[in-house]
């Protein structure tokens, strides 16, 4: 899909803006997407190893076996981060490196890797922001039911403590889960992500057990002395196609419940919304939500991570099959993207980010927010002069930073921004076909080249704002 440039020369240049003092500037990655070394130093198999080897699941049969070889090149990558002036780096820990079977014996060599990475970051003045789970569930746990099994939540809390015991003296910020919506609904609803299950009941069980896993881990981390605890969600900024049509408004509310409030409400208000509980009960027996679970999930949060890429618009359409990754959404249709899109065919609409942030601030006040991912896939690689001219990515990030600034102006307590991604990497079911990096990776030579967006981002960080 060809993307369109988002601004035209006919428009006046936007005004310069400055972010608050102390605003965090970072970049993010995830273990399976960059590390490689899939069978090294005692790492066990994850659901993504299995899924990517299953014919037809991942573009061109790509796997994370080698990825960006970051496991061996982490020092070079940290040097790049330092060159960009990053204040923070968000990475995830691969659970199967730490506990190859998901529970039981600890693989010290796995912990050693994150120890080395953490020290390298700190030596360069970059704050490590650790995500404990970014989708690479140990395969053994999936064999026992994965996130549809309550025991996985209990195992996660144990694993969180193991990692904290080793890194807690140097890592300040602990994020439990990345985008539980994806783990639950893409993993067990539509099955386009590992483990590739299509079962709406399991999707809801997974969503609840992910919430519970967060709550159990947050409690355990807090009692072990962690002071900055977070979770990262990817809320769906959903709006009715026709706000004057009550059926469209109802459709948007249903999607908002299944995608957003099922996470936000127990996390921040200590209760599942009644309409969401009724919706789950129409699909499956909800007794997997036990008395006391909501109180566990409602563990105090110090910061809420928000990942944002694109908006959604929905309408009521009797007879529409619905979307498997929004279980029970029959009779609802998502509008195809309108206007400029990225290489993922994701609509570009920065104002939706402002709307999302102000909504979260209004409905769930009191928790500081952080953009833990935002960015765009575009295919540009090195030209004849070796430079990567990715103007569209610059325009995308520039426009979304302005949207963040608009939210700040409306009183949203936004503390920082992490670009997704530091470097091109394994984009899940899309394999290496989609490039989100501000640093280009040649997967044959493993050479890294700063794209123009990385050089531009360095200037944004230096001036703490936009021209
Ligand atoms: O690459 C992913 C990341 O792992 C999670 N958030 C969305 C990104 C782009 O699809």
Angle value at C-alpha 438, between 436 and 440, nearest 5 degrees: 85
| pLDDT at position 11 | 64
Residues 249-260, buried b or exposed e (16+ Cβ, 10 A)?
bebbbbbbbbbb
CA distance 427 to 63: 10
Dist. CA 37 → ligand 1 center (Å): 20
For residue 393, being part of any structural domain is answered with yes
For residue 421, the ligand 1 atom closest to its alpha carbon is: 1
For residue 12, being part of any structural domain is answered with no
Give pLDDT tens digits for 77-128: 999 999 999 999 999 999 999 999 999 999 999 999 999 999 999 999 999 9
Dist. CA 374 → ligand 1 center (Å): 9
Tokens 């003045």 -> residue: 125
Ligand 1, pocket residues at CB < 6 Å: 30, 33, 179, 307, 373, 420, 427, 436
For residue 164, being part of any structural domain is answered with yes
Give pLDDT tens digits for 158-171: 999 999 999 999 99
- 319: its two tokens: 């007879």
Q: How far are the Cα atoms of 93, 265, 401, 421, 457 from residue 395, in angstroms, in the given order?
A: 31, 34, 10, 15, 11
Q: Is the dihedral of CA 88, 441, 435, 5 positive or negative?
A: positive
Q: Please choose from 133, 343, 427 the residue to mutate so as to test ligand 1's pocket, defined by most ligand atoms within 8 A of CB.
A: 427
In this predicted structure, the answer to whether residue 5 has a pLDDT above a threshold of 70 is no
For residue 9, being part of any structural domain is answered with no
CA distance 362 to 335: 26
Instruction: Sort strands 17-18 and 465-466 into parallel, antiparallel or unpaired.
Output: antiparallel
Dist. CA 427 → ligand 1 center (Å): 7
Question: Which protein residue has the closest C-alpha to ligand 1 atom 9?
Answer: 427
Dist. CA 129 → ligand 1 center (Å): 17
**Counted domains in the chain:** 1
Dist. CA 132 → ligand 1 center (Å): 15
CATH code where residue 123 lies: 3.20.20.80
Residue 441's DSSP bridge partners are: 448
Tokens 């299509």 -> residue: 198
For residue 3, being part of any structural domain is answered with no
Dist. CA 346 → ligand 1 center (Å): 12
Rounded average pLDDT over 332-346: 98
Name the binding residues for substrate.
33, 134, 178, 309, 420, 427-428
| pLDDT at position 8 | 42
For residue 427, the ligand 1 atom closest to its alpha carbon is: 1
In this predicted structure, the answer to whether residue 1 has a pLDDT above a threshold of 60 is no
Q: Mean pLDDT in the chain? A: 97
Q: How far are the Cα atoms of 48, 100, 109, 160, 173 from residue 117, in angstroms, in the given order?
A: 23, 20, 13, 18, 15
| Percentage of the chain exceeding pLDDT 70 | 97
CA distance 410 to 397: 20
Give pLDDT tens digits for 56-72: 999 999 999 999 999 99
For residue 377, the ligand 1 atom closest to its alpha carbon is: 9
Give the chain's end-to-end CA distance (angstroms, integer).
31
Q: Please choose from 187, 373, 374 the residue to mutate so as to test ligand 1's pocket, defined by most ligand atoms within 8 A of CB.
A: 373
Question: Which protein residue has the closest C-alpha to ligand 1 atom 2?
Answer: 427
Residues 393-416, buried b or exposed e (16+ Cβ, 10 A)?
bbbbbbbbbbbbbbbbeeebbbbb
Q: Which domain holds residue 401?
A: 17-466
| pLDDT at position 15 | 79
For residue 428, the ligand 1 atom closest to its alpha carbon is: 1
In this predicted structure, the answer to whether residue 9 has a pLDDT above a threshold of 60 is no
For residue 11, being part of any structural domain is answered with no
Angle value at C-alpha 86, between 351 and 433, nearest 5 degrees: 65
The H-assigned helical ranges of 189-245 are 200-223
For residue 234, the ligand 1 atom closest to its alpha carbon is: 6
CA distance 350 to 260: 19
For residue 225, being part of any structural domain is answered with yes
Give pLDDT tens digits for 241-263: 999 999 999 999 999 999 999 99
Work out the pLDDT band at 32, boundaries 50, 70, 90: very high
For residue 446, being part of any structural domain is answered with yes
Closest to 375 (Cα-Cα) out of 406, 408, 350, 407 = 350
In this predicted structure, the answer to whether residue 13 has a pLDDT above a threshold of 70 is no
Give pLDDT tens digits for 276-312: 999 999 999 999 999 999 999 999 999 999 999 999 9
Name the binding residues.
33, 134, 178, 309, 420, 427-428
Q: Please choose from 194, 231, 420 the residue to mutate so as to test ligand 1's pocket, defined by most ligand atoms within 8 A of CB.
A: 420
Dist. CA 9 → ligand 1 center (Å): 31
| pLDDT at position 10 | 58
CA distance 334 to 320: 10
Catalytic residues: 179, 373
Question: Which protein residue has the closest C-alpha to ligand 1 atom 10?
Answer: 427
């Amino acid at each position: 899909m060809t993307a369109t440039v988002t601004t035209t020369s006919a428009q006046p240049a936007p005004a310069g803006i400055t972010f608050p003092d102390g605003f965090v500037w970072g970049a993010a990655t995830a273990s399976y997407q960059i590390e490689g070394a899939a069978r090294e130093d005692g790492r066990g198999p994850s659901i993504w190893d299995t899924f990517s080897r299953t014919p037809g699941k991942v573009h061109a049969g790509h796997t994370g076996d080698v990825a960006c070889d970051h496991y061996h090149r982490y020092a070079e990558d940290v040097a790049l981060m330092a060159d960009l002036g990053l204040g923070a780096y968000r990475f995830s820990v691969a659970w199967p490196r730490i506990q190859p079977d998901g529970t039981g014996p600890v693989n010290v060599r796995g912990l050693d890797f994150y120890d080395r990475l953490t020290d390298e970051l700190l030596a360069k003045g970059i704050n490590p922001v650790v995500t404990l789970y970014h989708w690479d569930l140990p395969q053994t746990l999936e064999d026992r039911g994965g996130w549809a099994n309550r025991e996985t939540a209990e195992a996660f809390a144990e694993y969180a403590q193991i990692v904290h015991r080793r890194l807690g003296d140097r890592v300040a910020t602990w994020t439990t889960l990345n985008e539980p919506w994806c783990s639950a609904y893409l993993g067990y609803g539509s099955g386009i992500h590992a483990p590739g299950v299509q079962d709406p009941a399991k999707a809801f069980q997974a969503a609840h057990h992910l919430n519970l896993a967060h709550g159990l881990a947050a409690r355990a981390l807090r009692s072990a002395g962690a002071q900055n605890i977070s979770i990262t969600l990817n809320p769906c900024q959903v709006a009715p196609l026709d706000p004057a049509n009550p059926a469209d408004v109802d459709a948007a509310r249903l999607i908002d419940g299944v995608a957003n409030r099922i996470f936000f409400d127990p996390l921040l208000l200590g209760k599942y919304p009644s309409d969401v509980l009724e919706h789950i009960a129409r699909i499956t027996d909800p007794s997997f939500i036990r008395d006391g679970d909501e109180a566990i999930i409602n563990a105090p949060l110090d910061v809420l991570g928000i990942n944002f890429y694109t908006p959604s618009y929905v309408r009521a359409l009797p007879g529409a099959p619905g979307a498997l990754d929004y279980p029970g959404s029959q009779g609802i249709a998502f509008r195809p993207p309108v206007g400029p899109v990225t290489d993922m065919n994701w609509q570009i609409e920065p104002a939706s980010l402002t709307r999302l942030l102000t909504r979260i601030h209004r409905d769930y006040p009191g928790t500081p927010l952080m953009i833990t991912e935002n960015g765009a896939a575009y295919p540009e690689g090195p030209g004849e002069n070796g430079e990567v001219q990715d103007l569209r990515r610059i325009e995308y990030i520039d426009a979304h930073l302005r949207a963040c600034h608009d939210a700040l102006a409306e009183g949203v307590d936004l503390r920082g921004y992490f670009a997704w991604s530091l470097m091109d990497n394994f984009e899940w079911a899309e394999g290496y076909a989609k490039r989100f990096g501000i640093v280009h990776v040649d997967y044959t030579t493993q050479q890294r080249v700063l794209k123009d967006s990385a050089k531009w981002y360095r200037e944004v960080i230096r001036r703490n704002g936009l021209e």
